[in-house]
Chain A
Amino acid sequence: MGEQQQMQPDLSFVKGVMASGGETVKKCYQCATCSVVCPLSTNDSPFPRKEMLWTQWGLAGRVSGDVDVWLCHQCGDCTKHCPRDARPGDVLAAIRINAIRYYANPKALADVFNSPGGVVGAVIAAAVLVLIVAAVWSQITGNAFPFPLNHEGKVEYHEFLSVIPIDAMVLPIVAWIIYVSYNGVSRFWNDISKGAGLPESFTGTYPKPSIGLLLSKYLGPAVMEILSHSRFKKCGQTAERARGHLLLLWSFIILFAVTNYVFIAEDLFHAALGLISKVTPLPLYHPVKLAANVGGIMLIAGILMVKSMRTQKTEEGVLTSAAPDWVLIWLIFAVGATGIGAEVLRLINIAPIAYPVYILHLATIIVLFLSLPYGKFGHLIYRTTAYVFQRWADDVKAGKAGFGLEKAVGAAH
């Protein structure tokens, strides 16, 4: 008799996956058609058959330690060819939502950020927060509230909320997001290292690449792959989805860059250090402003493409969309729409509408990024981690990662 594993199937895990878009998981009867037709599956560790079985059996630990879940892009090829309508692509999507929740802290926030009601509530709460901060700020600046105009009699958001209160409000939130995300990613890294059979140290931790190596050898290539969407584009049934997603990704990068430009120029050099004069609002011909506007339009276009492809593929039955999918789409759309709206309204100077839209813009951005370690948006960090880990694990197993680990891996098998 070989070694045996004590099994403690976790019924609540099965029920959780079934309740969040994976209600078909139990239909699988292990023919492995899915793993064969999957364009992204690897020879060494084919998926999604094993994930289906593990989920059926409530083996939460194995599923959470499975990096392959994050290499899946819900192409729908498996779902299309499944003879039992078990819809593996949708099940893996549900598993990912559950995994994000598993690594989130506190978990209740995951429920908030994955439900439409929760997100609307969060946006309202954030808007109220912005309003309160703005009201307090108006007491300090003596500006009119809630519709301040600048000396030219025009809408200027700086008058309403300058960078200092915004930073005072946003930076702690960013710190929180980074803390929770780092915590989640670390646990995720440990779990997938264990799942991949990487050697464990005596202290119970798993090897990690050094920062230098991480950036140069693993994160760099992973990011390059993500930037080209070369893997997503391999999808058979839903390859078109990659186009909108790619546009969206680039818009995020552009908007992230311009936001940072403004943060550094305005917040740091102007407001904090007083090295330069006030830079915002940037004139329309300013290259950064141009980039920001292009980014904003790309964001709206990208999210609309993503939405229409998802709608179409859902109608075709290739994939099923759960609440977290639509929540994320509408949230990003809201960010884009309020951003463009706030700018246009500012330019045409309609204060009573411009300021509320601006408030909503700030609120939706806060909620979007706050949902990073909690909602579907978290795929940004976990999938990227998975891409990195896949390269790392290959090297460790091949003995190319240093540490003499190849012996340990060999011994484990």
Chain B
Amino acid sequence: MAKIGVYIYTGDGIAEAVDVEGLIKVATKSGAAVAKSHADLYSPEGVAMVKQDIEAEGLTAISLVGMSPRYEYKTFDFPGVYLDKTGIRELVAWSHRIDPSDEKADSKKEHVQELAEDYIRMAVTKLQKVQMPTPDKLEAPNTRILVIGGGVTGMTAALEAAEAGYEVTIVERTGELGGYGMQVRKQIPVGPDYSSLVNPVAPSLIEKIKSNSKITVKTETEIARIYGAPGKYRVSLKAAGTKSEWDAPVPLTPEEKLDANGKELSAEDQKKVYAAKNEGRNDYMVEDANGELFGAVILAAGWKPAIPADGEYPHLAWGNPNVLTNHQFEQLAKSGKLKRPSDGKEIKTVAFVQSPGGLNDDADFPYASAVTTMVSLKQAKYVREDYPEDGKAYVLYQHMRTPGQYEYFYKGLQDDAGIFLSKGAVTAVKDNGAGGLTVTVEKTLLGDNIALDVDVVVLATGMLPATKDEAVVNLAYRQGPAFRDLDLFGGYCDSNFICFPYETRRTGIYAAGPVRRTMTIEESMEDAAGAALKAIQAVKAAEEGHAVHPRTWDFDYPDFYFQRCTQCKRCTEECPFGALDDDEKGTPKPNPTRCRRCGTCMGACPERIIGFKDYNIDVVGSMIKSIEVPDDDEDKLRMVIFACENDAYPALDMAAAKGLGWSPLPRIIPVRCLGSVNVAWIKDAMSSGLDGVLLLGCKFGDDYQCHFVKGSELADRRMANVAETIKSLGMEPERVKLAQIAIDEYDKVPGVIDAFVEEIVGMGPNPFKGF
């Protein structure tokens, strides 16, 4: 039985907002062994007070009631003592200010006091239910880092990791290191002078790799499968282009699970189809004893040039030998002075076409980007380098994309007398009968439709990520060999790269360079350094037994009560990170070092057998039940809000700090992710007489902001199912709602809460109240 201490901070307006003595009484009544207040709780004196109590009273868990849990309190980390925090400063004092001249000040004060008391009850209840997490440390985890791809990105990542003291192996499919970095004539400058190009960096990287004893290079080699988890990956390598029994099996697609009539195949038949599809490959759960061990993986597989199909872009004369892609033009430039493919004449005039759509569509070529824009500028400079006297390069664009410092590069090249720039729609490219081509451009900056005679036309075609058409990483995971595709990123190795660069949806595997978005060589090198650090962090986390970003402090991991598992596979299907494998029967096999502790599996489980030591069905369910529900006062309806602690909860904190307030009726419980919200909690809330439940989570959809990718979206789907249940009980399904809140929408969130409360008040009390 936990021995609990509750410490209430009375500064920052808390003492003025609530009756602190009353809160202390509630804490004691709820079961706290010690309950005290302190005006300067977070000072050394406060720490000393708590420490003394722990020693004198043998406290095993303490609750700091005051500042938001989002603040660090390292000074309260006492070994063996569970630390919890409740932010009544923000959730009560600051968000429920009462004007003393208000006529209803007394009744309002009563509401606020009851709110604070409920937070105390929930805090004590939580501590009564939690257990101290114990880290699951890997025994002797492997710390070697595998780099897939030997281009500039891969080489840089390898060098960075090696310099940090880690052993690295580079696996390169071709026979040589260097990748595309060795195929370019020049690179884009990243420092002054921005008007001239710089020599390729790849040769010097190759030299460094060769002289680094910590780096092993395996050329003409591919990944057959990556088995295992961070800290203990077992990687089967194979000669490039060959088949192997260790090739990672591929699960059935939804279509493959159907018969000819569109009906789902039986489990047996599905197995047969699966076996046929993966014939000659070992089961994904089989470990290759001869495989090499690695701790983390950096995916730097890069990109390949897009080449239009035969007959594509007829209006741009694609197929004419003098119409080239940017890749072909680069090869031409690399091989020497620019000469026309058709007849070897000097290339004195070139039109660079950025957008193929003519007047109908201003989009650039598929998979084009800022990089291809800048490549056009770079290649325009080749024309000027080779023929400074009379070389002319026309860059015809719908978008001139030169972000950040590359604006200087644009300016530098714009200054060249022989580089002509105009926005415009390229409507036709035709053979001009004199060996060259005539390019027609409409809607130009010049105001006219113009025709330009050129020697060569260069199309700014795109860069296809290596992961577009193949898995590359070839994971032996239940969810398949590739990153699970969200169908949002067009084949780029998907991750929410704005919030979490390098992160993929597979813990321990970090993507860098153009495999995750188009990048210049210089950007790729910066990216590689970042990914190398992430890989090192993953290895360290496996060693110390804590989660990786975004819950790096978390030493807990989900427990499964397998005796009651019904093999429904929801957790294995829904885990956003593919952390769970399974056995023949479908019983989940956890891989703690792959897990990011979001709790999506816990939210998914209909049997409620998944939980964390300090965050599980019982802990939160008991907190809900500890809320005091007056059953005879229609003014005192009660709701619970599950607020995602990544975005919605910080938004609430900010709203409170900005002096915004909301109704005192709902009680807020922070959750790791809406994906972790189990419908059991909704049922607990409704059955204990609460009048409504609001879920505040991250935005989902195309521009999703969920830290765990799918959590809020899954919650939304589950709540739709709950609505049916609530309806069948004769209650309004609107009593349970989900709202999407971005972290910066602090100004919006009070309105969302108040609108919800108003709706519930309109519906009246929960009819089951008091039963």
List the one stretch of B248-256, B445-453, B738-746 in contact with chain A.
B445-453
Contact A26 B416, beta carbon cutoff 8 Å = yes
Query: B244 contacts the other chain (Cβ, under 8 Å)?
Result: no
CB-CB under 8 A from B421, the residues of chain A are 56
Contact A26 B414, beta carbon cutoff 8 Å = yes
| The one of A2, A6, A30, A50 that contacts B442, using a Cβ cutoff of 8 Å | A2
A 1-50 contacts with B by CB, 8 A: 1-9, 11, 14-15, 18, 26-27, 29-30, 50
Q: Mark B426-461, 1 if CB is under 8 A from A, else 0.
A: 011000000000001010011111111100000000
Query: A102 contacts the other chain (Cβ, under 8 Å)?
Result: no
Contact B427 A56, beta carbon cutoff 8 Å = no
Q: How large is the interface on B (under 10, 10 to 19, 20 to 34, 35 or more residues)?
A: 20 to 34
Query: A53 contacts the other chain (Cβ, under 8 Å)?
Result: yes
Contact A9 B420, beta carbon cutoff 8 Å = yes
Given contacts A5-B451, A50-B447, A59-B446, 19 further A-B contacts (CB under 8 A): A1-B427, A1-B428, A1-B440, A1-B442, A1-B449, A4-B440, A4-B448, A4-B450, A5-B448, A5-B449, A5-B450, A6-B450, A7-B452, A26-B417, A56-B420, A56-B421, A57-B446, A58-B420, A84-B411
Residue of A nearest to B410 (CB): A29
- In the bound complex, what is the Cα–Cα distance between A30 and B445 (angstroms)? 8
Interface of B, helix, strand, loop or mixed by DSSP = strand
CB distance from B129 to the nearest CB of A (A): 62
Contact A7 B451, beta carbon cutoff 8 Å = yes
Contact A26 B427, beta carbon cutoff 8 Å = no
Query: B415 contacts the other chain (Cβ, under 8 Å)?
Result: yes
CB distance from B353 to the nearest CB of A (A): 15
Query: B506 contacts the other chain (Cβ, under 8 Å)?
Result: no
Residue of A nearest to B448 (CB): A5
- In the bound complex, what is the Cα–Cα distance between A4 and B452 (angstroms)? 10
- In the bound complex, what is the Cα–Cα distance between A8 and B442 (angstroms)? 16
CB-CB under 8 A from A3, the residues of chain B are 448-449
Query: B151 contacts the other chain (Cβ, under 8 Å)?
Result: no
Query: B422 contacts the other chain (Cβ, under 8 Å)?
Result: yes
CB distance from B392 to the nearest CB of A (A): 6
| The one of B390, B442, B449, B453 that contacts A11, using a Cβ cutoff of 8 Å | B390
| The one of B415, B446, B451 that contacts A26, using a Cβ cutoff of 8 Å | B415
Knowing A1-B442, A30-B445, A57-B422 touch, does A11 contact B427 (C-beta < 8 A)? no
Query: B418 contacts the other chain (Cβ, under 8 Å)?
Result: yes
Knowing A2-B442, A4-B440 touch, does A11 contact B452 (C-beta < 8 A)? no
CB-CB under 8 A from A1, the residues of chain B are 427-428, 440, 442, 449
Residue of A nearest to B349 (CB): A9
- How many residues does chain A have at the interface if contact means C-beta atoms less than 8 Å apart? 25
CB-CB under 8 A from B446, the residues of chain A are 7, 53-54, 57, 59
CB-CB under 8 A from B415, the residues of chain A are 26-27
B 649-673 contacts with A by CB, 8 A: none
- In the bound complex, what is the Cα–Cα distance between A72 and B609 (angstroms)? 83
What are 23 residue pairs bridging A and B, where the CB atoms are less than 8 Å apart in the complex?
A1-B440, A1-B442, A2-B442, A2-B449, A3-B448, A4-B448, A4-B450, A6-B451, A7-B451, A14-B417, A15-B417, A26-B414, A26-B415, A26-B419, A27-B411, A27-B415, A29-B414, A30-B445, A50-B447, A53-B445, A53-B446, A57-B422, A84-B411
B 206-241 contacts with A by CB, 8 A: none
Interface of A, helix, strand, loop or mixed by DSSP = mixed
Output the residue of A7, A54, A58 with the most chain B CB within 10 A. Answer: A7
CB distance from B406 to the nearest CB of A (A): 14
Residue of A nearest to B358 (CB): A1
CB distance from A71 to the nearest CB of B (A): 20
CB distance from A107 to the nearest CB of B (A): 20
Contact B453 A6, beta carbon cutoff 8 Å = yes
CB-CB under 8 A from A54, the residues of chain B are 446
CB-CB under 8 A from A53, the residues of chain B are 445-446
CB-CB under 8 A from B440, the residues of chain A are 1, 4
CB-CB under 8 A from B427, the residues of chain A are 1
Residue of A nearest to B428 (CB): A1
Contact A18 B422, beta carbon cutoff 8 Å = no
CB distance from B415 to the nearest CB of A (A): 5
- In the bound complex, what is the Cα–Cα distance between A84 and B442 (angstroms)? 26
- In the bound complex, what is the Cα–Cα distance between A269 and B195 (angstroms)? 67
CB distance from A14 to the nearest CB of B (A): 4
CB-CB under 8 A from B390, the residues of chain A are 11
CB-CB under 8 A from B414, the residues of chain A are 26-27, 29
Q: What are the 3 A-B residue pairs with the smallest beta carbon separation, nearest first? A: A4-B449, A14-B417, A7-B450
CB-CB under 8 A from A7, the residues of chain B are 446, 450-452
B 598-613 contacts with A by CB, 8 A: none
Residue of B nearest to A6 (CB): B451
Knowing A11-B392, A27-B411, A27-B414 touch, does A57 contact B449 (C-beta < 8 A)? no
- In the bound complex, what is the Cα–Cα distance between A2 and B415 (angstroms)? 31
- In the bound complex, what is the Cα–Cα distance between A292 and B558 (angstroms)? 105
CB-CB under 8 A from B448, the residues of chain A are 3-5
CB-CB under 8 A from A59, the residues of chain B are 446
- In the bound complex, what is the Cα–Cα distance between A349 and B392 (angstroms)? 65
- In the bound complex, what is the Cα–Cα distance between A18 and B418 (angstroms)? 12
CB distance from B354 to the nearest CB of A (A): 16
CB-CB under 8 A from A29, the residues of chain B are 414
- In the bound complex, what is the Cα–Cα distance between A319 and B255 (angstroms)? 71
CB-CB under 8 A from A26, the residues of chain B are 414-417, 419
CB distance from B162 to the nearest CB of A (A): 44
- In the bound complex, what is the Cα–Cα distance between A1 and B443 (angstroms)? 10
CB distance from A2 to the nearest CB of B (A): 5
- In the bound complex, what is the Cα–Cα distance between A54 and B442 (angstroms)? 16
CB-CB under 8 A from A84, the residues of chain B are 411
B 367-417 contacts with A by CB, 8 A: 390, 392, 411, 414-417
CB distance from A282 to the nearest CB of B (A): 55
- In the bound complex, what is the Cα–Cα distance between A335 and B415 (angstroms)? 40
CB-CB under 8 A from B411, the residues of chain A are 27, 84
- In the bound complex, what is the Cα–Cα distance between A29 and B400 (angstroms)? 11
CB distance from B456 to the nearest CB of A (A): 16
- In the bound complex, what is the Cα–Cα distance between A6 and B440 (angstroms)? 9
- In the bound complex, what is the Cα–Cα distance between A6 and B434 (angstroms)? 15
- In the bound complex, what is the Cα–Cα distance between A29 and B414 (angstroms)? 9
- In the bound complex, what is the Cα–Cα distance between A4 and B428 (angstroms)? 12
- In the bound complex, what is the Cα–Cα distance between A27 and B407 (angstroms)? 12
CB-CB under 8 A from A9, the residues of chain B are 392, 420
B 442-501 contacts with A by CB, 8 A: 442, 445-453
Residue of B nearest to A18 (CB): B417
CB-CB under 8 A from B418, the residues of chain A are 11, 14
CB distance from A238 to the nearest CB of B (A): 26
Residue of B nearest to A12 (CB): B390
